[in-house]
Amino acid sequence: MTSIIKLQALSGAMDESPPCYVLQVDEVRILLDCGWDEHFDMEIIKELRRHVHTIDAVLLSYPDVSHLGALPFAIGKLGLNCPIYATIPVYKMGQMFMYDLYQSHHNMEDFDLFSLDDVDATFEKIIQLKYNQSVPLKGKGYGLTITPLPAGHMIGGTIWKIMKVGEEDIIYANDFNHKKERHLNGCELEKLQRPSLFIIDAFNATYQQARRRARDEKLMTNILQTLRNNGNVLVAVDTAGRVLELAHMLDQLWRNKESGLLAYSLALLNNVSYNVVEFAKSQIEWMSDKLMRSFEGARNNPFQFKHLQLCHSLLELQKVPSPKVVLASSADMESGFSRELFLQWCSNPSNSIIITSRTSPGTLARDLIDNGGNRQIDLIVKRRVKLEGSELEEYQKNQRDRRDENANKDEESDSDDDIEMSVISKGRHDIVIKQEGKQSGGFFKVTKKQYPIYPFQEEKIKCDEYGEIIRPEDYKLAEVVPEAEDNKENVVIKKEEEDIPEVTEAPSKCIVLSRTVQVNCQVQYIDFEGRSDGESLMKILSQLRPRRVVIVRGSPESTATIQNHCQENIDARVFAPNRGEVVDATTETHIYQVRLTDALVSQLNFQKAKDAEVAWVNAEIVVRKGQLDAKRMNVDNEPMDVDEEDSKILTLEPYPTTIPHETVFVNELKLSEFKQVLAKSNITSEFSGGVLWCCNGTLAIRRVESGRVILEGCISEDYYRVKELLYEQYAVL
């Protein structure tokens, strides 16, 4: 009956490393998040490598690198092969995060930890879900159901609920935000009552947040001051998560005519900015009620920006007139455009740099938060530079040699390519015209597939009563030829456009130099992380009252804070594993299912108690031979519930002899409410020192602690009347 539940933290325990946990429920191992830090720490990978082959499913909570960053490596290089579950926005935006990360690193060094193909392969494995969509796992995980619930923080952000049929509900919640934001709803954790296991991060346990308004104003004044002093503002944000909140907020600010910002420019700079905004536009149903309502009512897409200009390179950014505010990735300033802009702008005191989230220790952004500006910083600068002079010549020579070699080798296959191409473009013609003078290779990326055999496309012949259907267009030779040429031209032109960025990339090398920069500009940290703060965490924990808590990710002090809170206030078993440690959180709940017979139900005397009805049952269990119950089969003819696999069915039948039992009073009394009840029956009562005195002080009702009530008084008729009324407040069983 009882499931074995274990959790091992591969990373993200007792420190601020990214989350990555293995949850084991009986035979099934589920990987909860698979994050990587900004420096691509190989420790995580080492741990992951040991588990990779036992993992049956991966659940992702957020699209950012620290929640799914190691996944392309795990799939591309470690051979992780299992379904991955994520919400649609996590899927879409996660892809953007990884593309941007790859591109940013590729722009400055030879990056080989994973390739874009690995990223694509990873995201192909993702099963896209919606909030509150319950997915029963198959195979080993039979009986387990996973459900994503809204978490706030980032679009599509997920709190995972993992249910074992009827007995266990495990909640995995990290980095959630219970507060409503501009573009997102808050999480609704409080709806989940008493989960049997609650996995929560302690990252913010000791952190206090300024009020949202104060933060917004701080950002606003900083931006205005800097811009008025003719300085530029660099806002370091992530690629596709929190940036949406900031972009939406700033665009709205710009729209406000009185803000005085219209004269300045606003830009979003990352490698995928266009796509991020396009995807955001198509994910309105995942956003806050307010945005949804405005879209439903007036069809204003909130991400149809009016002022925010989308840039993909520094070159494009240069065209945006200064002074300007630039939202650039990445938030850690270890890579990407934010780092490059930092190098360019930091020495000018009129500029300003705003950091919006606390990234891992050791990153440039964190260093700036902790140590502030106005000092010299030694930085390692990595760059990809174009080859020049002798190097370029050498490279070109190499290339030429290689190409000649290839050309000799592939001469025949090359011609195949061309034939195939013309076959495709000509479509239905069986006479192949070989195109001349087109030698592929060199700067152009070869995207065509190469077939080992001569391509042959079989066409299905459609017939009607009169035989094969004749298509007039097959015989319109005169028209087809120019049309084909048209197409060809179009294709070629398009190709050139597409290839431009790749051409600039080709002959280059990566250099590393260390530089000391003087930070003169303003540096400010304004919290736009969108996470619940410490106080709220405690409040949520008290409301939820989980039976067991596993605390992960957070400094030892924060972990201890939550641990104390849980032990003192909610009487839960608490685990705080170290990295690599396995905690055994198995519960001792007992459970089985029986069927109620009508004979029993008709005997019962139900009474109302809160939102439920209760009745005392005195019954016996009878084992009956199960009839073939076709009703509850699903389409695949699999039984719906586990217990129907065995043919014996337990039923509850009335028990002939009554057995005395202790009376149970179900409900909780609120003295203030009881006062009103008394008033209705014309019994006067008043409060004094937490005691409800009735009937001129001859009777007293007190609540000693929750769940204990004392009725005290002289014997009198009133005593019995009050007693009756008091009993009426309960379901008495």
- Choice from 631, 672, 682, 689 touching another protein (CB under 8 A): 631
Given a contact cutoff of 8 angstroms between Cβ atoms, the answer to whether 37 and 18 are in contact is: yes
**Distance in angstroms (rounded) separating the CA atoms of residues 239 and 293:** 26
- C-beta of 166 vs 362, nearer to another protein: 166
Contact with another protein (CB under 8 A) among 233, 368, 523, 669:
669
Of 516, 634, 682, 688, which lies in the binding site for another protein, with binding defined by CB under 8 A? Answer: 634
- Alpha helices (H) along 262-331: 273-281, 289-298, 314-319
- Closer Cβ to another protein, 145 or 309, answer by number: 145
Q: How far apart are CA 573 and CA 131, in angstroms?
A: 29
Q: Which two tokens stand for residue 278?
A: 């396009």
- Longest CA–CA span in the chain (Å) reads 115
Q: What is the DSSP string of 382-443?
A: EEEEE--HHHHHHHHHHHHHHHHHHHHHHHHHHHHHHHHHHHHHH-S-SSPPPP-S----TT
The Cα–Cα gap between 435 and 418 comes to 7
Range in contact with another protein (rule: CB under 8 A) among 78-86, 255-263, 322-330, 703-711: 703-711
User: Which of 15, 41, 188, 278 touches another protein by CB under 8 A?
Assistant: 278
Binder among 557, 584, 613, 686 for another protein (CB under 8 A): 613
Does residue 712 touch another protein according to CB under 8 A? yes
Q: Least distance (Å) from another protein to the CB of residue 700?
A: 9
When asked if residue 15 is in the footprint of another protein (CB under 8 A), the reply is no
Taking CB under 8 A as the rule, does residue 142 contact another protein?
Answer: no
Using CB under 8 A as the binding rule, whether residue 296 contacts another protein is answered as yes
- Per-residue contact flags (x/-) with another protein for residues 372 to 411, judged by CB under 8 A: ----------------------------------------
3-state secondary structure at position 715: coil
Integer Cα distance of 60 and 20 in angstroms: 10
Q: Per CB under 8 A, which of residues 178..197 are in contact with another protein?
A: 193-194
3-state secondary structure at position 8:
strand
- Residues numbered 352 to 371 that lie near another protein (CB under 8 A) are none
Stretch that binds another protein, among 33-41, 397-405, 531-539, 609-617 (CB under 8 A): 609-617
Which residues between 318 and 347 bind another protein (CB under 8 A)?
none
Options 611, 645, 646, 717; binder of another protein; rule CB under 8 A:
611
Instruction: Tell me how many degrees the CA angle 526-278-75 measures, rounded to the nearest 5.
Output: 85
Whole-angstrom distance, CA of residue 367 vs CA of residue 359: 9
CB of residue 269 to another protein, shortest distance in Å? 18
Using alpha carbons, select from 176, 121, 132, 180 the residue that is nearest to residue 153.
176
**At closest approach, how far in Å is the CB of 151 from another protein?**
15
Distance CA 624, CA 648 (A): 6
Site string for another protein, 636-665 (x = CB under 8 A): x---x---------x-x--x---xxxxxxx
Distances (CA, A) of 566 to 537, 544, 577: 11, 11, 15
Number of residues that bind another protein (CB under 8 A): 95
Residue carrying structure tokens 């080859």: 387
Between 138 and 403, name the residue whose CB sits nearer to another protein: 138
Residues 469-488 that bind another protein (CB under 8 A): 479, 483, 486
Contacts of another protein in 552-591 (CB under 8 A): 589-591
Which stretch in 10-18, 47-55, 123-131, 516-524 sits in contact with another protein by CB under 8 A? 123-131
Query: Considering only CA atoms, which of 7, 63, 71 is closest in space to residue 34?
Result: 71
Least Cβ distance, residue 149 to another protein (angstroms): 11
Closer Cβ to another protein, 274 or 451, answer by number: 274
Please identify, using beta-carbon distances, which residue of 479 and 499 lies nearer to another protein: 479
Residues 41-60 contacting another protein, CB under 8 A: none
Residue 82 or 292: the one with the smaller Cβ distance to another protein is 292
User: In the range 203-262, which residues lie near another protein by CB under 8 A?
Assistant: none
d(CA 225, CA 60): 40
Of 44, 37, 41, nearest to 10 by C-alpha is: 44
User: Is residue 677 part of the contact set for another protein (CB under 8 A)?
Assistant: no
Cβ nearer to another protein, comparing 111 with 295: 295
Sign of the Cα torsion 268, 269, 275, 279 reads negative
Q: CB-based contacts of 591: which residues, under 8 Å, 6+ apart? A: 1, 166, 167
3-state secondary structure of 342: helix
Candidates 602, 627, 672, 682; binder of another protein (CB under 8 A) is 602
Q: SS3 of 76, please?
A: helix
Task: Name residues contacting another protein, limited to 409-448 (CB under 8 A).
Answer: none
